[in-house]
Amino acid sequence: MKPGIIGKKLGMTQIFNETGQIVPVTVIQAGPCIVVQRKTSDKDGYEAIQIGYVDPAGVKGEGKSSRISRAERMHAESKGVQAVRVLRELKVEKTDEAKPGDQVLVTSFQEKALVHVTGVSKGKGFGGVVKRHHFAGGRATHGSMHHRAPGSIGGSSNPSRVFPGMRMAGHMGHEQVTVRNLEIAKIDSENNLLLIKGAIPGPKGGYVVIRQEA
């Protein structure tokens, strides 16, 4: 199985590398995770495993059974595994032997390896076209009345409508983002921590999926 795990973003810090240079890193509580379900092409139409994040500390009540819905508990009981709140799917090969109950640990990764990190970006609220889409805006001179406006969004007679996908003001951020080829700077297997070079999507406490492509 290609290494893949669910993690929680704890924040950023910095470490020193072998040459004494300061390296900014993001600290991720990576697992431990368990395999909750094995999906097959014969039954489900595709090959994947469903893994669940086991919060080791139960921070803010996330580990309490009262926070887990009845549907989540029944789903876990049907597979004979521990009930968890955070579930994600990872594609696997048909020959993969992962089964419900197997653990997914941070030790499956290696330092200096490149990984893809997927998370939900921070929400920015309502954004205009200048901030959201980097429009140049109009003239800043007095009386232009077109400083940060989007301009024309369609013809009046032809085509007499606004095309789908037109870049306009609206909800900014809070989207699924994947940052590729980030380097694992350090692994703390004792505390299930991954230190990844650079920034990753999402706020502190947000959940991310870390995958390593073979």
Give the pLDDT confidence of 162-208 residue by residue, as tens digits.
999 999 999 999 999 999 999 999 999 889 999 999 999 999 999 99
The whole-number pLDDT of residue 64 equals: 54
Query: In terms of pTM, does the model score above 0.85?
Result: no
Question: Which residue in 52, 62, 57 sits closest to 102, CA to CA?
Answer: 52
CATH assignment, 4-126+176-211: 2.40.30.10
Give the pLDDT confidence of 76-114 residue by residue, as tens digits.
888 888 888 899 998 888 887 888 888 889 888 998 899
pLDDT exceeding 70 applies to what percent of the chain?
A: 94
| 65 pLDDT more than 70 | no
The whole-number pLDDT of residue 59 equals: 42
The whole-number pLDDT of residue 95 equals: 80
Measured at the CA of 108, the angle between CA 34 and CA 184, to 5 degrees, comes to: 120
| 67 pLDDT more than 80 | no
Distance CA 72, CA 95 (A): 28
The bridge status of strand 86-91 relative to strand 176-188 is unpaired
The model's confidence at residue 212, banded by pLDDT at 50, 70 and 90, is: confident
Give the pLDDT confidence of 16-25 residue by residue, as tens digits.
988 889 999 9
Distance CA 198, CA 12 (A): 9
Average pLDDT of 119-146?
92
Question: What residues contact residue 120 under an 8 Å CB cut-off, 6+ apart?
Answer: 174, 175, 176, 177, 201, 202, 206
Q: Where are the domains of the chain?
A: 4-126+176-211, 127-173
